[in-house]
Structure 1
Amino acid sequence: MPTNNAAILPTPKARPLKIQPSPIGTPTPTQILLKTSALAIQPIDALLQAHAFLPLSYPTILGVDVAGTVISVGDAVSRLKVGDRVIGTAGGMLNGNLSEGGFQEYVVLGENVAAKIPEAMGFERAVVLPCGLSCAASAFFRGEPYLSLRLPTTPATKPTGEVVLIWGGASSVGSNAIQLAVAAGYTVVTTASAKNFAYVNSLGAEVVVDYNAPTAIQDVAKALTGKNVVGALDCIGGPATKQTATAIKDVDGVRKVITSKPAEEDMIEGVEVHFVDGAHFGQDGVAEKIYGGFLGEALEKGSYVPAPEPLIVGHGLEKVQEGVDLVLKGMSARKAVVTL
């Protein structure tokens, strides 16, 4: 049996992460064991280390985005096999199982939140996807309190005229949300900084508003006027959640905002606001439909692209803290990646 090392957060707000040996987990019947070749760092990883805003068990291993090679599978696993190159969403930091945290050399994760990637696609390129994809897909396709939208298809469903608002389209979650919405037949109105307009348009957004403009809320509301709005996803958090809620408070359709960051203040009367995270995506059957049904084929055909672009921080677990620090400072249309 090989040895395993992990970047461990021993106590709340400890810094830097501690690199030390950690046991290799054994997959349950529905899980796989992955030899990690690349990992990506999400804002939630940086925020959890810096602020400890969720009640985690310590020591813990953060990290959600992983990519690598399957080295063993549980008895009930049927879609994936040993030797497959995959990406997946690791959920260890939230379920308390150290073997399922992403910042380590060997990770256990569910088959239903893992997908094969094309042979020509590098691990460092593909690993930008999982958490952003899982968060956006949870917000859009899971049932109440989320939006319960149609599932994406390959080829994409023809546009139906229904509109979804995505606040922060150049973020990791937003980059995936745009592509998922378009593949499901929805028209996307999004916000981004002016420098990222071309980027979000390339992913399929039809209308883009500069969220730095003093009239951003009014501009978004105008773009939604007279449209059949099916809901909104806030990918930024903080003041953006209330901005998103304000922009949809008078729309025709669903006045509901799903936010990828917990709301920090009172919202707008008449608008529902619900928090969603990607690490819990595997809790119902929607995950398998996305990872097992849609994603692999879409990646193979090139109709879905890994986005945003990876920013390679370096090689080895020792580089994870550097990546976390970069993310905490803020990143736009990029995602911090560490290779192993």
Structure 2
Amino acid sequence: MSKNTAAWIDSPYADLTIREAPMPAPGPDQLLVEVRALAVNPLDAIIQSNGTVMYGWLQYPVILGEDVAGIVVETGANVDGFAPGDRVVAYAMGLEKGRDAVSESGFQKYVAVDASLAAALPDAMAFAEAAVLPLALSTAAAGLFEAGQLALDHSHLGDALPREEVVVVWGGATAVGGNAIQLARAAGYRVITTASAHNHDRMRRLGAEAVFDYRDPDAVDRIIEAVNGSVVAGVLAIAVGSAEPCLRIARATGARRIAMASPPVSFYEQPRRGGLSLVRIRLFARLGTRTALLQLRSRLSGIRATFIWGSAIAASPVGPAVWGAYLPTALASGAHLPYPEARIAGDDLSAVQGAIDALRLGVSAEKLVVSLDATATGS
């Protein structure tokens, strides 16, 4: 193995800097992966923009990054089912509380990942193609299946046992939404979703039976009409501004749970620097007010509205069901498509900061991926 290199964030709000990093030592239940492709997520941009407001447990300098794909170079003593040389996609958990935000984070050439949150890749699937999956897939799975979220039945995940219940996904073209559509369908549920008009065919290919334009002022009424009296097992609210229409849908259809993947305001609006500013004060005031009002209105309607924490699946039966039992087979058969489409933002770690900056400006129905060498497009 060569020396390890990482894209470090040395202090809150700072740009990433590229330099040598310690070689991770995998724990007994982990894999050491040579990263061939990585993706950036809104979470990376939010941590960089928010400083210590969120993820206050991070002790800088740290390494960001959750989405990786690459080659196993070493396995922990307790690991079965993986061996050096295996091609895998994995969820890097380093930013979570109690984890190692250096050795277990994704923006580096070598990373230690939990074997339970890794899946083998088909030989024909490019690393860059697979790197879009981990955080989005895990967040979708948490929202759909965790007991504290929509609590859908995942016991037949992949068997496609038909059910009559409907899941509404507001924001189907997002990374979380596209994976939620596929997971809900794989568990047998019917799916109704929203997306821009140019993404409607794509949503149907992922498994949605009906798609509506979220910009349509009558979108809520059209979704309620499409439900047509069927039982709504739950509503998944993705992207800023999605909670309000989802609450209206839940009220009208009798749904009792809403799982939310985004806050009611965009953290991208604030300046990426420390200290108070009028923009930051207003943003957090809106966040507190809107969240409190949403919770009050939901409770008055007998609806449980909760925010999703994607890493929750690591400590519950959902993780093994999705990452272990479902994903490898579904990727190999083509039943689960890597979503969203990967857009290559560069070919080395120096491109990661630019990818995060581009993400802040807006990316639709695709994910920015950095490949770390030429083999990221193949074996």
Judge same fold: TM > 0.5, yes or no: yes
Q: C-alpha offsets along residues 255-298 of structure 1, whole Å, 9 cap, x if unaligned? A: 21111123541213322211113234312232112111111011
Alpha-carbon distance in 2 for matches of 1:32, 1:17: 25
Please state whether the residue corresponding to 2:106 is helix, strand or coil: coil
Q: CA contact under 8 A between 1:113 and 1:281: conserved in structure 2?
A: no
The one-letter code matched in structure 1 to 2:145 is: F
Q: CA contact under 8 A between 1:91 and 1:280: conserved in structure 2?
A: no
Structure 2 match to 1:165: 168
Alpha-carbon distance in 1 for matches of 2:233, 2:150: 11
Structure 1 match to 2:203: 200
Q: C-alpha offsets along residues 218-246 of structure 1, whole Å, 9 cap, x if unaligned? A: 2223323411111011121x321222122
Q: 1:191 aligns with which of 172, 190, 194?
A: 194
List, as ranges, runs of 4+ consecutive aligned residues in structure 1 with deviation greater than 4 Å: none
Q: CA contact under 8 A between 1:69 and 1:84: conserved in structure 2?
A: yes
Percent of matched pairs sharing the same residue: 38
Q: CA contact under 8 A between 1:152 and 1:180: conserved in structure 2?
A: no
Structure 1 unaligned spans of 5+: none
Structure 2 match to 1:102: 106
2:261 matches 1:257 = no
Please state whether the residue corresponding to 1:249 is helix, strand or coil: helix
Structure 1, 111-120 or 215-224: larger mean CA deviation: 215-224
2:116 matches 1:117 = no
The change in CA–CA distance for 1:145 and 1:175 in structure 2 (over 3 A counts) is closer
Structure 1, 184-193 or 20-29: larger mean CA deviation: 20-29
Counterpart mapping for 1:217-232 below 5 A: 217-232=220-235
TM-score normalized by the length of structure 2: 0.85
Q: 2:75 aligns with which of 73, 76, 84?
A: 73
What's the CA shift for 1:152? 5.1
- The total of aligned residue pairs comes to 336
- CA radius of gyration, larger in: 2
Structure 1 match to 2:27: 28
Q: 1:325 aligns with which of 357, 360, 364?
A: 357
Structure 1, 258-267 or 121-130: larger mean CA deviation: 258-267
Structure 2 unaligned spans of 5+: 265-286, 373-379
Alpha-carbon distance in 2 for matches of 1:303, 1:181: 12
What's the CA shift for 1:119? 0.7
Please state whether the residue corresponding to 1:94 is helix, strand or coil: coil
What's the CA shift for 1:153? 3.3
Alpha-carbon distance in 1 for matches of 2:157, 2:317: 16
Q: CA contact under 8 A between 1:63 and 1:103: conserved in structure 2?
A: yes
2:190 matches 1:177 = no
Counterpart mapping for 1:46-61 below 5 A: 46-52=45-51, 53-54=53-54, 55-57=56-58, 58-61=60-63
Structure 2 match to 1:309: 341
Q: C-alpha offsets along residues 275-333 of structure 1, whole Å, 9 cap, x if unaligned? A: 11323431223211211111101111111111111000010000001111111112111
Alpha-carbon distance in 1 for matches of 2:155, 2:359: 31
Q: CA contact under 8 A between 1:316 and 1:338: conserved in structure 2?
A: yes
What's the CA shift for 1:61? 1.3
Alpha-carbon distance in 2 for matches of 1:328, 1:242: 23
TM-score normalized by the length of structure 1: 0.94
Q: CA contact under 8 A between 2:149 and 2:308: conserved in structure 1?
A: no
